[in-house]
Structure 1
């Protein structure tokens, strides 16, 4: 996911994090300067849904405007699988240890 807060804020004429913080406070979300800096300059690892709701209200946008999917990055993370595995899966053979019985038929 890509965090798009600064672009959405710029579209609304908000160019500085202090201005965004002030507008969030007016909307009922009192946010620390450190947390605002993290939201403004990078991609947050977590965000409360209530906070996201207020941010969307202030910017008059939807969460999908702030959180942009990047399916190509997901595809890059997927491990490459050899074609042999895709063709046929190996048969599962139960391993019987000491004092174990065979599963019911």
Structure 2
């Protein structure tokens, strides 16, 4: 996912993280300096939905404006079917292993 916080902030004329942090605080979202810096300078690993809602309200945007899908990265993570030996569209049949079966539970 691409995180477009700085782009959306710039579209609203917000050029500094401190300015956005003040606006978020006015809207009820108090962020620490570290959390604000992480949101401003990089892509967050996690974000609370309540926080995302306030950020979208302040920037007058939708979550899809801030979080942009990257289908090419997803495709790159998926192993190619040709590379997997014996791969097919049919899932393998799962059979129990022979051996010492477990006893039944007491009644």
TM-score (norm 2): 0.82
Aligned to 1:86: 88
Kindly report which structure 2 residues correspond to 1:14-29, keeping only aligned pairs within 5 A, or say none. Answer: 14-29=14-29
Shift of 1:87: 6.2
Which stretches of structure 1, 4 residues or more, deviate above 3 A after TM superposition?
87-95
Pair 1:42 & 2:42 matched: yes
Shift of 1:79: 1.0
Matched residue pairs, number?
100
Structure 2 stretches lacking a partner, 5+ long: 103-107
Pair 1:96 & 2:98 matched: yes
Shift of 1:80: 1.8
TM-score (norm 1): 0.84
The separation in 2 between residues aligned to 1:20 and 1:88, in whole angstroms, is 52
The separation in 1 between residues aligned to 2:101 and 2:49, in whole angstroms, is 53
Structure 1 stretches lacking a partner, 5+ long: 101-105
**Aligned-residue RMSD, C-alpha:** 1.9
* Shift in alpha-carbon separation, 1:29–1:98, aligned structure 2, 3 A: closer
Shift of 1:94: 4.6
